[in-house]
Structure 1
Amino acid sequence: MDRDSQPPAESRTASVVELAQKLIRHPSRAGVDDYGPVLGVLEDWLTAHRLPHRRLRDGAGAVVGLLVEVAGGRPGPWWTLDACVDTAPYGDESAWSFPPYSGDIVDGWLLGRGSADSKLAAALFCHIAADLAPHAETLRGGLAVLLDVDEHTGGFGGARAYLADPHTTRPAGVMIGYPGMDEVVVGGRGLWRATISVHAPAGHSGSRKSVVGAISRAAHLVRLLDETQLPDAATDSGFPLPPKLSVTAFHSGQGFSVTPDRADLNVDVRTTPGFGAQDAETLVRGAVARLDAELPAPAPTGITPVASWPPFRLTENDQPAAVLLNAAAEAGLTVRAKTAGPSNIGNLLAGEGIPATAGFGVPYQGLHGTDERAHLAELPTVYAIYRRAALNLLDG
């Protein structure tokens, strides 16, 4: 493919911003808004640019994403650009200094929920597909653009539907368009999550008989979990972050006069290659066994695992990390490879054996918070880097 035939990134970014503005002005808060309008904006644009696309649905038939596919004319692997177009909620709208659905540009900042995460990236990736489509016969494999509307729920329904779709080609790697210009996220801790049900005899809070209630037993379990020693990063060869355990929810009781007979906890363990899901479950079960031995109750404490994702980490020579880091270096940027503490969709992909990068984009403020905004001066550079990376993969 003749790279010189591609339009300059500067001339394309005005169109990218225009599309992103339209997306921001169609609210798509996860679990709150109807996704039809925001998907309609994308579908109109894709149709106008003659890009093949289709909606993705989950097992219940709900729309969870939009898939764009540009098939190359030569055999080779497929690669995917991924961005979500559902968003976090607005929170307290009175705390915002502009409407959360603004889409305006002020002092070089694109304003509104989704500007950073990740409607600007969605618009950018659609334009890259449009750039490549007229030259598709010269490309190897193909390029998919996945636009997920079930990301901020934590369900990642768009990605799951994409991978389960028998009509798609499984990608060799994925680049996820989270924002931030200083780093390419090439790894993340995994997780093991469970709910724990702690039991005890119910009683009246004013009774003469002393009862060790479920709240007291659950509080003792929290102390046992907090006191548990986890390995540090130095013992986990090559992985830069240690595992971490957190109790993230505690629910029990009602009113004042009853000592409740049940308390429910949520436990989140962030895992590493040297301390995986089985280790996390063994640790939690050990703490629960201590609780039941030290403070017996009529019913054993119950553990219900609810989620498990593996950790992942690419080296700087693994694709697609290598091509994205190299493209950034060729653009004159110093960008470091980062292993993230929080999990992300890259963990889901790692569980499917698909390598992913999870983050490189424009500078931003207020992601998931008040006054979310994305800085546009760097957009031409980010655009050029992603386009170069995609071309290098498809020309390979």
Structure 2
Amino acid sequence: MSPHSETARQLVRDLIRCPSVTPQDGGALGLLEERLKPAGFTTHRLRFTETGTPDIDNLYARIGRGAPYLVFAGHTDVVPPGDTAAWRFDPFSGEIADGQVWGRGAADMKGAVAAFAAAALDYAAANPAFKGSIGLLITGDEEGPAVNGTVKLLQWADGQGERFDHCIVGEPTNTEALGDTIKIGRRGSLTGELIVHGTQGHVAYPQRADNPIPHMLRLLAALTEPPLDEGSQRFDPSHLEILTVDVGNPATNVIPAKAHARFNIRFNDLWTPETLEAEIARRCTAVTDGGHYELSFHPCNALAFVTEADHFTDLAVEAIAAHTGRIAHFSTSGGTSDARFVRAYCPVIEFGLVGETMHKIDEHVSLADIDTLTAIYREILDRYFA
């Protein structure tokens, strides 16, 4: 086992042992800072706040000077473990068994954070006079509202004059085996609310009431059919999913006065939030006189984007192939990630571990994959600064 693989194995266990359920840090960022600072990294701990959202700790670390500047981005916060009694091991124990490391965040994404931190430490130690810079952007808010995390960390870095050339986000991108997928983009996400107003009344006298539920059903049918589009060159079709329909009616003999629905759209690069909102409003207007409903949208901070293939994506594919024998394919599938914020500052790709167990009971990843991912990140650094 190479020294950087051994470092990554220990670091992922130590990180898992930090109970960093969003918005709690659990000591994870301090642990990383303790590893990076003695090795020559300049570090900044940054706490961002905003009314109505949790205060969040973040970490920015850099070693080297000038360009080119390659930055790794990731998060140490994790989703709640759920029923801890259902886990094979304590979800914050970092237990090793059957060639796997077990615990909440092993796949998403403490494993990748450990791997790129170990690779950066190893490269900097072996190349003390390398020309360029290596950075780490680590947040504790990716699994939460994503308000006081990466977006503000990037704004702060930009205000300090930090200029990134490329970024790798360590999200668990692979579906079946390490090395099968690189994310080069993500769909956008837009959430909307629909309220239909009726007139409450007795079910035995419907002529004296106006039931909002049939109106709501017609509106929701118009939102889902026909499909928004058939997809684009790099993206699957946009998709609207109804999340909830509520009337708050516990009675069996009362027609409700109001119905409320929430929906989310994962949209491709054929749309912007503005054009999508206009299309949803058009569909609603087409099936009602407009006087019985309210349509609103949540603020959108997740736009569809794609990173064009270039020498950097080629370099990543070659490094992955060198250690896995697989030719990674480019994908834009899945949910949102903090790459949506990074893309405003520099080209960004995502590559991490296999995501099969992320957010599940008994989340775990292969130790061999931790070793290989660390070696891939190290290979990317070698090639990038060659």
Band of TM-score, shorter chain: 0.7 to 0.9
- Aligned residue type for 1:387: R
Aligned to 2:378: 387
Q: Partner letter of residue 241 of structure 1? A: D
Identity of aligned residues (%): 24
Whole-angstrom CA distance in 2 between matches of 1:272 and 1:168: 32
Indicate how the Cα distance of structure 1 residues 208 and 83 shifts in structure 2: closer, same or farther if over 3 A, else same. closer
Aligned twin of 2:340 = 347
Using the TM superposition, give the Cα deviation of residue 30 of structure 1 relative to its aligned residue in structure 2, in angstroms. Answer: 1.6
| Residue aligning to 2:22 | 30
Aligned to 1:161: 152
Please tell me whether residue 123 in structure 1 is matched to residue 119 in structure 2. Answer: no
Superposition deviation, residue 375 in structure 1: 0.5
- Alignment correspondent of 1:276: 272
Tell me whether 1:203 sits opposite 2:193 in the alignment.
Answer: no
* CA deviation map 1:249-288 (0-9, x unaligned): 3333142165443333222222222233333212210122
What does residue 48 of structure 2 align with? Answer: 58
Distance in 1 of aligned mates of 2:163 and 2:255: 54
Q: What code does the residue aligned with 1:198 have? A: V
> C-alpha separation between the residues in 2 aligned to 1:323 and 1:121?
19
Residue of structure 2 in register with 1:243 after alignment = 238
> What is the CA distance between 1:367 and its match in structure 2?
0.8
The answer on whether the counterparts of 1:249 and 1:265 sit within 8 Å (CA) in structure 2 is yes
SS at match of 2:360: coil
Aligned pair partner of 1:224 in 202, 216, 222 = 222
8 Å contact from structure 2 (residues 235, 268) kept in 1? no
Residue matched to 1:5 = none
Distance in 1, matches of 2:210 and 2:363, equals 47
Tell me which moved more, 49-58 or 280-289.
Answer: 49-58
The yes-or-no answer on 1:306 pairing with 2:294 is: no
Provide the secondary structure at the position in 1 that maps to 2:143.
Answer: coil
Report the Cα distance in structure 1 between the residues aligned to 2:84 and 2:146, rounded to whole angstroms. 25
The equivalent of 1:149 in structure 2 is 140
Q: Could you tell me how far apart the structure 2 residues matched to 1:393 and 1:205 are? A: 71
Residues 36, 367 of structure 1: alpha-carbon distance in 2 compared, 3 angstrom cutoff: closer
CA offsets 1:108-134 (integer angstroms, 9 cap, x no match): 000010111111211222222322334
Structure 1 residues 348-363: aligned runs within 5 Å = 348-350=341-343, 352-361=344-353, 363=354
Contiguous gaps of at least 5 residues in structure 1: 1-8
Shift of 1:364: 5.3
CA distance in 2 between counterparts of 1:217 and 1:314 reads 42
Distance 2:350 2:368 in 1: 22
Distance 2:246 2:64 in 1: 51
Q: Relative to structure 2, which stretch is displaced further, 57-66 or 383-392? A: 57-66
Q: What SS does structure 2 have at the residue aligned with 1:76?
A: coil
Partner-residue secondary structure (3-state), 1:58: strand
Return structure 1 stretches of 4+ with deviation > 6 angstroms.
none
Structure 1 residues 192 and 364, CA, compared in 2 at 3 Å: closer, same or farther? closer
The letter of the residue matching 1:301 is E
CA contact (8 A) 1:192 1:268 kept: yes
| Aligned mate of 2:191, from 190, 193, 206 | 193
Q: String of CA shifts for 1:7-39, please: whole Å, max 9, x gaps.
A: xx72221221112111111211124xx314222
Partners of 1:24 and 1:114 within 8 A in 2: yes
Task: Name the amino acid aligned to 1:57.
Answer: R
Distance, in Å, in 2 between the alignment partners of 1:318 and 1:269 is 33
Whether the 8 Å contact between 1:193 and 1:305 is mirrored in structure 2 is: yes
Q: Give a deviation string over 1:222-259, Cα, whole Å, max 9, x none.
A: 122122332212xx3x2241111112233331421654
CA contact (8 A) 1:146 1:158 kept: no
Aligned residue for 1:3? Answer: none
DSSP-derived class of the 1:26 partner: coil
TM-score by length of 2: 0.87
Q: CA RMSD in A?
A: 2.5
Task: Say if 1:27 and 1:323 are closer, same or farther in 2 by CA, change over 3 A.
Answer: same
In structure 2, stretches of 5+ residues that fail to align are none
Distance 1:128 1:345, change over 3 A: same
Deviation per residue, 1:290-325 (Å, 9 max, x gap): 3432x853xx42323421522222343253x22211
Instruction: Tell me if 1:286 matches 2:278.
Output: no
C-alpha separation in 2, matches of 1:192 and 1:364: 24
Match of 1:377 among 364, 368, 383: 368
Contact residue 67 and residue 165 of structure 2 kept, 8 A: no
Correspondence for 1:39 among 29, 45, 63: 29
Q: Which residue of 2 aligns with 1:77?
A: 68
Q: Distance in 1 between matches of 2:342 and 2:301?
A: 13
- In the TM superposition, what whole-angstrom CA distance separates every residue of 1:360-390 from its partner, at most 9, and x where no partner exists? 33x4542111110010113332212111212
Q: CA deviation at 1:192?
A: 2.5
Equivalent pair of 2:75/2:110 in contact (CA under 8 Å)? yes
Deviation string for 1:39-81 (max 9, x for gaps)?
2322333344443212122244933311111123xx3232211
**Residue 57 (structure 2) pairs with residue 105 (structure 1):** no
The separation in 1 between residues aligned to 2:45 and 2:11, in whole angstroms, is 19
